[in-house]
Amino acid sequence: MAFSEKPVSHSPLLAIQNLSVALPVGGDRPYAVKDISFELHPNEILCIVGESGSGKSISANAIMGLLPTYLKPQAGRIQFRDQDLLQQSEHVLLGLRGKDIGMIFQEPMSALNPVMKVGDQIAEVMQVHHAFAGPDQKLRIHTRVLELLGLVGLPDPQALQYAYPFRLSGGQRQRVMIAMALALEPAILIADEPTTALDVTTQAQILKLIKDIQRSMHMAVMFITHDFGVVADIADRVLVMEKGLIVESGQAAAVLNTPVHPYTKRLIAAVPHGTSRSDEERSEAELCQTHLPVLEVVALKKTYVTARGMFVKKRVVHAVNAVSFTVNRGQTLGIVGESGSGKSTIGRCLLKLTEIDGGQMFFQGQDIAPLSAAQFRPLRHKIQMIFQDPFASLNPRHTVGRILTDGPVANGVSYQQAARRARELLKLVELEESAFDRYPNAFSGGQRQRIGIARALALNPELLVADESVSALDVSVQAQVLRLLQDIQRRLNVAMIFITHDLRVAAQICDEIVVMHQGSIVESGTPAAVFERPQHLYTQTLINAIPGQDWKPMAKQA
């Protein structure tokens, strides 16, 4: 499809002037955003970059009038065309949302109604704004729904319109969100971290889709992200935020290649670029490794059979198909693949959270595959998992101290010993000792992941399984957690399986990588070999989908 190019207008479509949003009394800082000003022009993509807590999403929600009651703008203007949005009633804002300003939210499963078919949810946007009014309104809306589903690249729109969100993949749900946002062809599209936790191939598709639609519809896009690799792919201009302040802004090429502010330089330096560990680091890691396997997996199989119904055919899915690998003490094995490749299923099989259908799993020489839950219980403390979402996996009603001591106490360790060990672990994962008496909601995402790591280490495991443990973190926090995992492994000499969809991240921490596709291992080798000489077409596709392929930041060149 050819898109007509149109120069960026000098007259702003949206102008934020001296906007400040106060935080509740007692927080770490008085303002969520402080005295920020910027403009958004027609036909441009403005990327707002920053870590969690920088104020970028607060700014977007202020534009949409979606701030919670305890967060209210204290000063400034948000000028859209000829009106200040901060002075408008909720009724006026309801008329603007979707029609003039559309928004793609970060987590589509939370934003979509789980009990409504996706076609009905898209249609609802047009019904609320009385689009296509007239006797044939229902037919015209139905036609528009199918058109939108096709526009965002979803297969078989005629059938998919009747699907519920849980039936769709993460990338498909995000496409439905984009279709809803585009339903009334808004002048401005705000995309709030729409690709953060997606596979790199799905992310690449979504980024291309947003860029193509922006060009074809001549709309202005405000794209919120923490990843400068994404910025390199789509941005016209960049605005960098830190702790509620704008610290740098300018044309994308200038900010990407000649950053001025230290914070911008730090974010760029944290972007993973698939560079494997240095020879010195690799040699040091190899000294800690032994050739005695902690885990040996042989021809592992797991099959799922989907239920058969009136409109659904019975389907057999080979989630894990004759997979074999070995992990030695002190070694990190990376398992890489997209959602549905079977990598997380392997992790669940290793912890006996899912029953296998065939194969063997030798842990320290003992085949744990045929063991019952009762027989495996004495070994469970030796294999621990670091989960993807630390907030969901940490009990919000328990203090960090209890979270870290419950496991050891349940395994016969006295509370005094467990508490002493817990405080040592907090220091090991670089958290203050005072964290022992606090609750998970008092910590950032990166800090909660550190607590998750400490909990996994509390029982002195021989094998750690890290399942997408950094995929949803800011790139700078991600880099910190990766360094922490490397440091802990070097100190404790544990074996680790690192499950991820991002080859760049795997290259930084892993000694060996296996690439999975549709339940099977299609390629394996050292990070350098897989990156520099990928043999399988699927591996090449994963590498080509990494954002910022053509961007070589000065920080990395130096």
Q: Per-residue DSSP letters for 81-128?
A: TTEEGGGS-HHHHHHHBTTTEEEE-S-HHHHS-TTS-HHHHHHHHHHH
Question: Is residue 551 included in any domain, yes or no?
Answer: no
> How does pLDDT run across 249-294, given as a tens digit for each residue?
999 999 999 999 999 999 998 888 766 555 555 555 555 555 679 9
Note whether residue 319 is domain-resident. no
Q: For strands 332-336 and 495-500, give the pairing.
A: parallel
Given 238, 269, 300, which residue is the final one in a domain? Answer: 269
Q: Does position 553 have pLDDT exceeding 80, yes or no?
A: no
Mean pLDDT, residues 443-457 taken together: 86
Band of pLDDT at residue 39, cut at 50, 70 and 90? very high
For residues 251 and 398, membership in a common domain is answered with no
pLDDT digits (tens, 9 = 90+) for 172-222: 888 899 999 988 889 999 999 888 767 888 888 889 888 988 988 889 999
DSSP per-residue codes, 515-557: EEETTEEEEEE-HHHHHHS--SHHHHHHHHTSTTTT---HHHH
d(CA 324, CA 295): 11
Query: Does residue 86 register a pLDDT over 70?
Result: yes
Cα(166)–Cα(115) distance, integer angstroms = 9
Alpha helices (H) along 372-472: 373-380, 390-393, 400-410, 415-428, 445-457
Q: H/E element holding 483?
A: helix 475-492
Which amino acid is present at 118? V
Q: Are residues 252 and 396 in the same domain?
A: no
Question: Does this model's pTM top 0.75?
Answer: yes
Q: Tens digits of per-residue pLDDT, 43-53? A: 999 999 998 87
Percentage, residues of the chain above pLDDT 70: 91
Q: Identify whether 2 is part of a domain.
A: no
For residue 557, the model assigns a pLDDT of: 44
The predicted model gives 333-354 an average pLDDT of: 91
Q: Per DSSP, what are the bridge partners of residue 315?
A: 306
Residues 416-422 have a mean pLDDT of: 94
Residue 203, domain member (yes or no): yes
Domain at 60, CATH number: 3.40.50.300
Q: Are residues 262 and 398 in the same domain?
A: no
Extract the runs of DSSP E, i.e. beta strands, from 165-314: 188-192, 220-225, 237-242, 245-251, 293-306
Q: What is the b/e burial string over 280-293, where b = at least 16 CB atoms within 10 angstroms of the residue's CB?
A: eeeeebeebbeeeb
Give the domain-ending residue among 416, 445, 460.
Answer: 460
Choice between 56 and 72, residue whose per-residue pLDDT is larger: 56
Q: How confident is the model at residue 388 (pLDDT cuts 50, 70, 90)?
A: confident
Say whether pLDDT at 465 is over 80.
yes
Residue 69 has pLDDT above 70, yes or no: yes
Range of the domain at 93: 14-269
Predicted confidence (pLDDT) at residue 120 exceeds the cutoff of 50: yes
User: At residue 234, what are phi and psi to the nearest 5 degrees?
Assistant: -130, -15
Write the CB contacts of 358 (distance below 8 Å, at least 6 apart in sequence): 299, 300, 301
pLDDT the model gives residue 4? 34
Tens-place pLDDT, residues 296-309: 999 999 998 866 55
Q: Please tell me the predicted confidence (pLDDT) of residue 291.
A: 67
3-class DSSP state of 61: helix
In a domain, 474, yes or no: no
In tens, the pLDDT along 18-31 reads 999 988 765 567 88
Q: Specify the DSSP class assigned to residue 450.
A: H
Q: Do 255 and 125 share a structural domain?
A: yes
Among 201, 200, 209, 199, which Cα is nearest to 177's?
Answer: 209
Q: What is the pLDDT of residue 489?
A: 84
Q: Are residues 78 and 220 located together in one domain of the fold?
A: yes
Percent of all residues in the chain with a pLDDT value above 90, rounded to a whole number: 49
Q: Is 299 helix (H, G, I), strand (E, B) or coil?
A: strand
Given 435, 460, 485, the domain boundary residue is: 460
The pLDDT, as a whole number, for residue 309 is 55
- The number of distinct structural domains making up the chain is 2
Quick one: tokens of 459?
A: 């029982």
Report the pLDDT averaged over residues 465-471.
86
- Among the listed residues 379, 391, 380, the one whose alpha carbon sits nearest the alpha carbon of residue 452: 391
What value does the mean pLDDT take over residues 451-467?
92
What pLDDT is attached to residue 555? 47
Residue 484 pLDDT grade (very low, low, confident, very high; cuts 50, 70, 90): confident
**Contact between residue 35 and residue 19 where contact means Cβ atoms under 8 Å apart:** yes
Which of the residue ranges 399-408, 435-444, 508-517 would you say has the lowest mean pLDDT? 435-444
Same domain? 246 vs 97: yes
Judgement on whether residues 21 and 162 belong to the same structural domain of the protein:
yes
Q: Is the pLDDT of residue 382 over 90?
A: yes
Considering the domain boundaries, does residue 248 fall inside one?
Answer: yes
More confident position, 189 or 167: 189
Q: What is the pLDDT of residue 276?
A: 57
Q: How many CB atoms lie within 10 A of CB 210?
A: 24
Q: Is residue 469 part of a domain?
A: no
Q: Which two tokens stand for residue 186?
A: 């808004």
262 lies in the same domain as 402: no
- Residue 305 and residue 316 in contact, taking contact as beta carbons nearer than 8 Å: yes
On whether both 255 and 395 belong to a single domain, the answer is no
In a domain, 288, yes or no: no
Beta bridge partners of 221: 45, 189
Instruction: Say yes or no to pLDDT of 6 above 70.
Output: no
